[in-house]
């Protein structure tokens, strides 16, 4: 794939070739060498406008061009690429101009340790300090950065990339085009202990982890191996950093987990589920297809397909918003409650006085209240 500098007109043709027509308005010969934000862009860079929050920055950007939707009310001081999906257009522009990460090429470095019984595919790219253990199978065009460990019997598909210090435990399986970032561990023992009196007996974690094709996992994640069977991450799923997956979980295809998400053991997650940052899910429940879990949610019951939940404990959006609206009024409600309690106490004293019950005293004879006293 060609990458590097090009004109605005050439970028327009490139977007059209990817099914995204983009009209050039202004000088199509302006040259673009990079992409940047509205605020950060300088001459030679292209930026984009998609969020109304940043509308005022369009007039002041120092970029050489801007990607945006047609908007007759918005005047840009620089040439524009007009299209229906500026965010997608920017993504394609970044790919065309900057390209994807280019890996160093080590070949099979002399200090990489590859067991005699391991099987390497074509074009291995193994950095210094890589360890490939007995009976491991490594596919074609696999890149392993320094410190990668691939355990006995583990399988890596074609075009896999493992960044520095990734650990793949024994018998775990990775599909094709899987990318795992630095420090992540795949296949460590899950939290499996049986109570024996007041002590805990370790349950052997005899399962494995299966990661299907086109999965990308961020830095410092941990995916437990199953006690029996396999923990599974579905095709096309993407994890941010610091994601923890408990043993026996089944995560469907094309999910998106943001940083610090945690699933306890044996959770079943459907297809195309989004779980936002710092959300936690208790074990042995199901989250349906296309569900959305909001940031910092505490999910302790099943989530229906297509629904959105938030809060702790997590609840459907409408219910959770009612809760939060009530929480915000608690200080005022507390003050009003104290006033009401005081008024009630005063009313009780007044009623007791009228009835002759104040301090346990009786009213004198002849002073009894008449029948019209309320």
Count of helix runs (H) and strand runs (E) in the chain: 4, 39
Instruction: Assess if residue 263 is contained within a domain.
Output: yes
pLDDT score, position 357: 60
173 and 44 together in one domain: no
Tell me which of 321, 341, 360 is where a domain ends: 321
Kind of pairing between the strands at 268-269 and 208-211: unpaired
45 and 118 together in one domain: no
Instruction: Assess if residue 49 is contained within a domain.
Output: yes
137 and 225 together in one domain: yes
Coil vs helix vs strand at 299: strand
pLDDT score, position 368: 45
* CATH code of the domain in which 270 resides: 2.160.10.10
317 and 335 together in one domain: no
Residues 6+ apart with CB under 8 A from 170: 133, 151, 152, 153, 154, 187, 208
Per-residue pLDDT of the chain (374 residues; tens, 9 = 90+): 578 999 999 999 999 999 999 999 999 999 999 999 999 999 999 999 999 999 999 999 999 999 999 999 998 999 999 999 999 999 999 999 999 989 999 999 999 999 999 999 999 999 999 999 999 999 999 999 999 999 999 999 999 999 999 999 999 999 999 999 999 999 999 999 999 999 999 999 999 999 999 999 999 999 999 999 999 999 999 999 999 999 999 999 999 999 999 999 999 999 999 999 999 999 999 999 999 999 999 999 999 999 999 988 998 888 878 887 887 888 888 999 999 999 999 999 989 888 876 455 554 444 444 444 43
190 and 230 together in one domain: yes
Specify the long-range contacts of residues 267-275, CB closer than 8 Å, at least 24 apart: 270/305, 271/234
Selected catalytic residue, list 181, 247, 272, 284: 247
The answer to whether residue 247 is catalytic is yes
pLDDT score, position 93: 96
174 and 262 together in one domain: yes
Instruction: Assess if residue 108 is contained within a domain.
Output: no
Instruction: Assess if residue 80 is contained within a domain.
Output: yes
Q: How far is Cα 217 from Cα 85, in angstroms, rounded to an integer?
A: 27
Instruction: Assess if residue 147 is contained within a domain.
Output: yes
* CATH code of the domain in which 35 resides: 3.40.1390.10
Instruction: Assess if residue 106 is contained within a domain.
Output: no
Instruction: Assess if residue 1 is contained within a domain.
Output: no
247 and 298 together in one domain: yes
Closest CA to 71 of 88, 94, 54: 54
The total number of structural domains that make up the chain: 3
pLDDT score, position 328: 84
Tell me which of 64, 98, 132 is where a domain ends: 98
pLDDT score, position 326: 81
Range of the domain at 353: 331-374
pLDDT score, position 318: 81
């Amino acid at each position: 794939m060609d990458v590097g500098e090009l004109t605005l007109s050439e970028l327009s043709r490139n977007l059209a070739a990817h099914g995204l027509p983009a009209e050039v308005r202004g000088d199509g010969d302006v040259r673009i060498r990079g992409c940047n934000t509205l605020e950060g862009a300088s001459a030679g860079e292209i930026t984009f406008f998609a969020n109304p929050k940043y509308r005022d920055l369009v007039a002041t950007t120092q970029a050489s061009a801007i990607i945006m939707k047609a908007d007759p009310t918005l005047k840009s001081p620089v040439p524009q690429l007009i299209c229906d999906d500026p965010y997608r257009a920017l993504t394609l522009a970044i790919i065309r101009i900057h390209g994807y990460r280019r890996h160093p090429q080590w070949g099979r470095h002399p200090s990489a340790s590859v067991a005699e019984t391991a099987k390497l595919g074509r074009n291995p790219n193994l950095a210094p300090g890589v360890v490939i253990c007995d009976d491991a199978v490594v596919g074609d065009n696999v890149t392993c950065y320094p410190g990668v460990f691939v355990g006995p019997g583990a399988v890596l598909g074609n075009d896999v990339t493992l960044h520095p210090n990734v650990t793949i435990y024994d018998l775990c399986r990775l599909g094709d085009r899987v990318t795992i970032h630095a420090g992540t561990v795949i296949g460590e023992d899950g939290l499996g202990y049986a109570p024996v009196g007041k002590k805990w007996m370790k349950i052997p974690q005899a399962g494995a982890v299966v990661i299907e094709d086109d999965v990308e996992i961020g830095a410092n994640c941990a995916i437990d191996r199953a006690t029996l069977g396999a923990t599974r991450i579905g095709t096309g799923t993407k994890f941010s950093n610091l994601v923890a997956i408990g043993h026996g979980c089944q995560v469907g295809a094309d999910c998106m987990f943001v940083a610090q998400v945690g699933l306890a053991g044996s959770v079943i997650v459907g297809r195309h589920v989004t779980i936002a940052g710092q959300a936690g899910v208790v074990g042995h429940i199901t989250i349906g297809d296309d569900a959305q879990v909001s940031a910092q949610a505490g999910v302790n019951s099943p989530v229906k397909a297509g629904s959105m939940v938030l809060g702790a404990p997590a609840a459907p959006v409408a219910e959770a918003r009612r809760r939060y609206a009530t929480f915000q009024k608690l200080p005022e409600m507390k003050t009003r409650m104290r006033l009401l309690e005081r008024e009630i106490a005063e009313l009780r004293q007044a009623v007791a006085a009228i009835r002759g019950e104040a301090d346990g005293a009786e009213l004198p004879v002849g002073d009894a209240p008449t029948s019209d006293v309320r």
